[in-house]
């Protein structure tokens, strides 16, 4: 009887172990068109195209950005998508403990949106000087803007950010251009009274847990993403998701 119990226990334990080794878990917020709740979207499709042919199963959990970061840092998840690459840490915002691949997953346009009546003569990013701004929690745009925007705050999602703008609680809302577009549609807001300007273009990366497994997955990502680019499959994934294809290049 003991042998039977041991055999059953070993089988269950081994199956769980094997499953955890062959399943890649993505921790991410829901970004419409990129990481949809139903598992569709550009980022999900790219990650699957990279890893599934290598024998991995890709799973995901939708959660707020900061919780997703912690999940990867604590090795509770393997991957976080949509990371900026930081070369140096700071006392204010330490670099997330993650492994960056050489190749990005996307090139993101960051935009600022504001009421036309507030700034009829937009003069570029200098127009933000001394004003109030809000952006999604954990996005750390102040690291790029420096002292231009001394009075800033964070919000939980794009819709709340635009509502703050609508109610004149903030002068500017800053976010990924695609997410701003989606939020306007979701809220049904009259966009004719607002102006949107691109202020920054940055590579976005997949972040991997800082483990031997994470390094292995990052190396595999760098190999496979080049295969997808050369074969034209990556371009097809962009087209499938209705997103303009971008020319990815490795960081130096």
The model's pLDDT over 198-249, given as tens digits with 9 standing for 90+, comes to 999 999 999 999 999 999 999 999 999 999 999 999 999 999 998 888 999 9
Query: Angle 158-166/177-187 helices, nearest 10 degrees?
Result: 70
Q: What percent of the chain has pLDDT over 70?
A: 88
Map residue 38 onto helix, strand or coil: coil
- Rounded Cα gap, residues 112 and 157, in angstroms: 15
| Range scoring the smallest mean pLDDT among 9-23, 78-92, 129-143, 176-190 | 9-23
Asked if the model's pLDDT at residue 156 lies above 60, the reply is yes
**3-class SS of residue 189:** coil
Looking at residues 143-172, what average pLDDT do you find? 91
- Per-residue pLDDT at 118: 87
Check pLDDT > 90 for residue 48.
Answer: yes
CA dist list (Å): 53 to 27, 47, 60, 65:
21, 11, 18, 28
Domains of the chain: 2-83+204-240 (3.40.190.10), 107-202 (3.40.190.10)
Quote the pLDDT of residue 92: 54
pLDDT of residue 224: 98
Q: For residue range 60-116, list pLDDT tens digits in order.
A: 999 998 899 999 999 999 999 999 887 655 555 556 789 999 999 999 999 999 999
- The reported pLDDT for the residue numbered 32 is 86
């Amino acid at each position: 009887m003991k042998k039977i119990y041991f055999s059953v226990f070993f089988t269950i334990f081994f199956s769980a172990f094997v499953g955890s080794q062959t399943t890649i878990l993505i921790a991410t917020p829901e970004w419409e068109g990129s990481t949809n709740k139903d598992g569709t979207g550009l980022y999900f499709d790219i990650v699957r195209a990279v890893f599934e042919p290598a024998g991995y199963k890709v799973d995901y959990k939708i959660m707020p950005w900061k919780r997703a970061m912690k999940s990867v840092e604590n090795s509770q998840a393997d991957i976080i998508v949509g990371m900026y690459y930081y070369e140096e840490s700071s006392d204010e915002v330490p670099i997330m403990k993650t492994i960056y691949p050489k190749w990005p997953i996307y090139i993101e346009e960051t935009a600022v949106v504001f009421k036309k009546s507030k700034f009829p003569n937009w003069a570029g990013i200098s127009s933000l000087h001394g004003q109030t701004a809000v952006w999604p929690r954990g996005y750390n745009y102040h690291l790029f803007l420096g002292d231009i925007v001394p009075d800033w705050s964070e919000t939980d999602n794009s819709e709340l950010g635009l509502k703050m703008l609508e109610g004149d609680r903030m002068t500017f809302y800053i976010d990924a251009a695609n997410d701003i577009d989606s939020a306007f549609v979701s809220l049904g807001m009259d966009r004719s009274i607002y102006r949107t300007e691109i202020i920054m273009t940055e590579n976005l990366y997949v972040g991997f847990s800082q483990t031997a497994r994470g390094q292995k997955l990052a190396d595999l990502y760098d190999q496979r993403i080049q295969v997808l680019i050369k074969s034209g499959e990556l371009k097809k994934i962009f087209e499938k998701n209705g997103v303009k294809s971008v020319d990815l290049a490795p960081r130096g």
